[in-house]
A and B are shown apart, each in its own frame.
Chain A
Amino acid sequence: MWSAARALATRDLQLLWRRRGDALQPALFALLVLVLFALALGNDRVMLARVAPGALWVAVLLSGLLALDTLFRGDAEDGSLEQWLLAPVPLAWLVLVRVTTHWATTALPLLIAMPLLAELMALPREHWPVLFVALALGTPLLALLGAVVAALTVGMRRSGILVALLALPLYVPVLVFGAGSVTAAAQGFDPVGGLLLLAAGLVATLVLAPLAAAAAIRIALE
C-alpha cells in the first residue's frame, strides 16, 4: 500500500517538475487577484483590511477551482486511471494520495505565502493566526470536495463550466465558515466555532470524499 502511494506521489512530483510553469499557475492566479484587489482599492487601508478575509478566501478558492479539472483528466485520457483500477490497492487510497499531492503542490505554496498575501491586503497581524488555521483546515477540505466533482466529470470531454457549477455549492459553506471565522476575529468575536466546524468537515470529507470519488471514477470508466 505504501509502495503504491510512494510510486504515485513520486510520479506526480516528477510530472509537476517537468511542467513547472503550469504548476505555478494556481499560486500566481491567487497572487494576481490579490494584487489587483489591493491596487483597485488603492490607499484605503481600512477598507482593504475589512475586505481582506473575504478576498483572500475567494482568491484561494478560485485558484483551487482552476486546477481542479486537471486532477484526473490527464490520467483518464492516457489510461493511467485504468491502471489504478487494476492495482492491488484500493482505488480510494490512490485518490487520497493524488489529492494530497495535489493539495501540497497547489494550496501549500499559498499557505506558505500567506504572510505576504495578508500583508498585501493590510490584514492586521493579530488576525494572521486565525487566517492561517482557517486556510490550513479549509484548503484540504476544498481539495477533497473538488476531487469528488472532478471524478464525477472525468468521463466528459470538456467539463470546465460543469466543474465550476458543481463545485461552487459545495465550496460555499467552507467559504462562509472560513472567511467568517477571520471576520469574526477581526470584529472581536470568538472565531473558534467556525474553525471547529471546518475541522469537523475536514475529518468527514477525509473519510468520505475518497470513497465517493473512487465510486465516481469507476462509473466514469465503464
Chain B
Amino acid sequence: MPPAANPAPALLSAQALRFTRNEMPVFGPVDFEVGTGEALLVQGDNGAGKTTLLKVLAGLLHADGGSIRFQGQPVLPALRARVIGYLGHLPGQKADLSALENLRFLCGLHGSRPGMSLEDAMATVGLAGYEDALARQMSAGQRKRLSLARLWLSPAPLWLMDEPYANLDLEGIELVNRMVQAHLREGGGAMVTTHGAYAAPPVRTRLLVLERPA
C-alpha cells in the first residue's frame, strides 16, 4: 500500500549529504527522508559510515556537502536539539551515580515529556528495581536499557538510534521494536542503524543501504 499523500513536510530530509575525513570519503552523497510514522533502516558493512551519518544528522559532525532539513526547515542548533533524540555508542552515564541519578541528569539536560515519571520509564525498559544500582555495577545490556529509558522520556519526535540492538538479549531486542512501534504510532520517526536485517521493527520501513565509497 503506498503511503497516503502527506501535506506536512517530512521530519527529516537530506539531499546529497556527504562526509569526508582527511580527504577520504566516509559516506555519500546520499538522499533520503524520514516521514512521520516511518522508520528508516540504515544498513551497511562495518566502516560504511552508518555511525558517522547519524553523528552528522545529530550535529556532532559537520557534513562536507549536501543539505539537511528538519520538518521542512533548514537546520538551526535550537531546532535540531528539539527534534532529535540520539542514542549513540557512548551512553554518557557516570559510573559512580545510580541508574536513577543518571536518568534524572540526562532528562534535566534534554528535557522530558510531561506526565511521565522516571520510574515509569525505568519500568518500561525492564529496569524496575535497579533504580539505586550504580551504573558501574550494571551490565552493558542494562546500561543500554537505561539509555533507551532516556530516549523514551525525550520529547524529541525523531529518534536516531545507532545500533540499538547491540548488547541486548532477545527480550531487549523485542523491547526496542516495541518502543519504536509505539513511538511511530504517536507520530514520531526513527532512524535505526544495524548491520543485519534481523530484528527490524514491524513498522512502515524504508531502507537505506550505505556502501563503502570506492
A interface, CB within 8 angstroms of B: 3-4, 6-8, 10-11, 14-15, 18-19, 74, 78-80, 82-89, 94, 221-222
Q: Does B9 contact A (CB under 8 A)?
A: no
Q: Are A78 and B90 in contact (CB under 8 A)?
A: yes
Q: Are B96 and A4 in contact (CB under 8 A)?
A: no
Q: Are B97 and A18 in contact (CB under 8 A)?
A: yes
Q: Does B197 contact A (CB under 8 A)?
A: no
Q: Are A86 and B58 in contact (CB under 8 A)?
A: yes
Contacting residues, chain B, for A6 (C-beta < 8 A): 108
Contacting residues, chain A, for B96 (C-beta < 8 A): 15, 18-19
In the docked arrangement, what's the CA distance between A94 and B108, Å? 12
Q: Does B128 contact A (CB under 8 A)?
A: no
Q: Are B60 and A83 in contact (CB under 8 A)?
A: no
Query: Which of A15, A19, A82 has a CB less than 8 Å from the CB of B92?
Result: A82
A-contact 0/1 string along B103-119, CB 8 Å cutoff: 01111111100000000
Q: Does B84 contact A (CB under 8 A)?
A: yes
Nearest-Cβ distance from residue A82 to partner chain B, whole angstroms: 6
Contacting residues, chain B, for A19 (C-beta < 8 A): 96
> What would 13 more interface pairs be, CB under 8 Å, given A15-B94, A86-B86?
A4-B108, A7-B104, A78-B92, A78-B94, A79-B88, A79-B93, A82-B90, A82-B92, A83-B109, A84-B109, A87-B110, A222-B60, A222-B62
Q: Are B84 and A86 in contact (CB under 8 A)?
A: yes
Q: Does B29 contact A (CB under 8 A)?
A: no
Q: Are B84 and A11 in contact (CB under 8 A)?
A: no
Q: Does B81 contact A (CB under 8 A)?
A: yes
Nearest-Cβ distance from residue B48 to partner chain A, whole angstroms: 20
In the docked arrangement, what's the CA distance between A18 and B98, Å? 11
* 18 A-B pairs in the complex with CB atoms less than 8 angstroms apart: A6-B108, A8-B108, A11-B94, A14-B97, A15-B96, A15-B97, A79-B89, A79-B93, A82-B60, A83-B109, A85-B60, A86-B60, A86-B86, A87-B81, A88-B81, A89-B109, A221-B60, A222-B60
Q: Does B82 contact A (CB under 8 A)?
A: yes
Tell me if A's interface is mostly helix, strand, loop or mixed: helix
Nearest-Cβ distance from residue B214 to partner chain A, whole angstroms: 24
Q: Does B59 contact A (CB under 8 A)?
A: yes
Q: Are A78 and B91 in contact (CB under 8 A)?
A: yes
Nearest-Cβ distance from residue A101 to partner chain B, whole angstroms: 13
Q: Are B95 and A78 in contact (CB under 8 A)?
A: yes
Contacting residues, chain B, for A86 (C-beta < 8 A): 58-60, 81, 84, 86, 110
Nearest-Cβ distance from residue B58 to partner chain A, whole angstroms: 6
Known: A7-B108, A11-B97, A18-B96. A85 touches B59 (CB 8 A): yes
